[in-house]
Amino acid sequence: MVHVSGTPIPLPNVLEFLGPGDISTHAFNGDHESILDNNNKIRSEVREAVDRGVIMDVGHAGIHCDVDVVKHALDQGLPPDTISTDIHVPPSGRIVYLMNDLLSKFHAMGLSIEDVVSASTNKPASVLGMDKDIGSLRVGMSGDAAVFNLREGRFVWHDMAGHNVDGNVRFDTLLTVRDGGVAWKSADMQDMGEC
């Protein structure tokens, strides 16, 4: 995995060293060395890397995902392979979204519900070589799941560049199951007893 946000090395020079299964995280950042050229077109070196099997990961954090970069990439047929939070305790004034908000945000930017779920479950499991154990609800898997309410309304997600994404669906997490047992319940689910 290579952290490409804020790299002092030109992105094409970084990508030339990456091969199948290598991960370019923070790939959708808005820095000068982003996946886009000065005309907001996907760089040819990025297309070549993707064609070689390099994984383009969101690695959102608070500053590593620019809404405009994502929108240009999606318009040109380059969705993220994997959606990840890079969650951490943010410095003051920085927005760090939880996974359900990233699903919501990327859905609002045009990815289908199926695509955002896949990019945050089975695709990362496959990339990590763990798809025999996690990332699916097939019989014999570890029994991990998130239960969401797809709440309709008016929602806005922001990035550090001041760009906004307006959406009408938010993934509200109701329940998290880990290894077949309830790991977390929302307040709405507390009165439902044991699952």
Q: What is the pLDDT of residues 33-92, one digit of tens each?
A: 999 999 999 999 999 999 999 999 999 987 889 999 999 999 999 999 999 998 777 677
> How many residues in total does the chain contain?
195
Domain count, the chain: 1
| Mean pLDDT on 139-163 | 93
pLDDT of residue 188: 82
Residue 168 sits in a domain of what CATH number?
A: 3.20.20.140
State which amino acid sits at residue 7: T
What pLDDT sits at residue 135?
95
User: CA-CA distance, 99 to 138, in Å (whole number)?
Assistant: 22
What per-residue confidence (pLDDT) applies to 194? 61
Q: Nearest-5° angle of CA 165, CA 148, CA 153?
A: 40
Give the range of the structural domain holding residue 52, as residue numbers without chain letter: 2-192
Provide the token pair at 68.
């405009």
pTM of the predicted model, to two decimals?
0.92
On average, the pLDDT of the chain sits at 93
What is residue 193's predicted lDDT score, i.e. its pLDDT? Answer: 61
pLDDT confidence bin for 192, thresholds 50/70/90:
low
What is the tens place of the pLDDT at every residue in 120-148?
Answer: 999 999 999 999 999 999 999 999 999 99
What are the beta bridge partners of residue 57? 82
**Residue of 28, 59, 174, 158 whose CA lies nearest to 11:** 28
The residues, ordered by sequence, that sit 6+ positions from 93 with a Cβ below 8 Å of its Cβ are none
Q: Round to whole Å and give the CA distance between 111 and 69.
A: 14
